[in-house]
Amino acid sequence: MSTFQQTPIREFSAWAGGRGGAYRWKRAVDLGLIIATAALALPFVILIGAAIKLTSAGPVFYRQVRYGRDGATFTAWKFRTMVRNASEVLARHLERNPALRQEWDRSHKLRHDPRVTAAGRVLRRTSLDELPQIWNVLRGEMSVVGPRPIVADEIALYGEAYELYTRVRPGITGLWQVSGRNDLPYEKRVQLDTYYIRNWSPWLDLYILARTVAAVLMARGAY
């Protein structure tokens, strides 16, 4: 990923600040993509919802407060991929296993997460658990492409880059997802988000969208 670090930083304030044709273009593309794929997505929503209900107790959808543009909070939606008492399960496993604690502290992810259900593993491998976030895009809380939405505990991990992060809408997909995803250390994720914001262009979004298809098919770093 050294190529990203060597690329000169260019002006980004016009689009990141919500002004100008670039910002309107990005929003129009978001809405166009969601509307164009809504009919295709509906059968998947129904089938996935049925699979979740049949294989584990609990609701179909999972919602979590995330931080987005201007530091505002919003409710991000996903298909539920974990057991209903996920917090308690995680706490027990981290307490009993120091190696898992170290893995969690490094990336807030676990390769073999004890909380994930059988259906959840499939959804995560295929990234279909993110499908409900099209609702967040329609509401203007997220974009199709952008930095990943973060939770409160992650703000400190972004450090000085958090102010930059709050200038844009977070995305369903982004450079992190197509560059290794959970296989990358957290600091690399921050670097990729920072690069994207500072170097955004319509062509970069198209590149990420094309890479997203390959990343989903290969399921690299998805767990």
Give the pLDDT mean for 104-117: 78
Residue 18, phi-psi category: left (phi > 0), alpha (psi -120 to 50), beta (remainder): left
User: Any bridge partners for residue 74, and if so which?
Assistant: 66
* The model scores a pTM over 0.85: no
Query: How many helices (H) and strands (E) would you count in the chain?
Result: 12, 4
**Residue 196, Cβ density class (10 Å: 0-12 exposed, 13-18 middle, ≥19 buried):** buried
Query: What are 7-33's pLDDT values in tens digits?
Result: 444 445 445 555 567 778 899 999 999
Inter-residue contact 166 to 51 (CB < 8 Å): no
Query: What are 79-102's pLDDT values in tens digits?
Result: 999 988 888 888 887 888 887 787
DSSP structure class, residue 9 = P
**What pLDDT is attached to residue 220?**
59
**What pLDDT is attached to residue 99?**
78
Task: Give percent of the chain above pLDDT 90.
Answer: 49
> Which of the pair, 68 or 180, is modelled with greater confidence?
68
Give the pLDDT mean for 177-184: 79
3-state secondary structure of 189: helix
pLDDT band at 5 (very low <50, low <70, confident <90, very high): very low
Inter-residue contact 205 to 155 (CB < 8 Å): no
Beta strands in 68-118 (DSSP E): 73-79
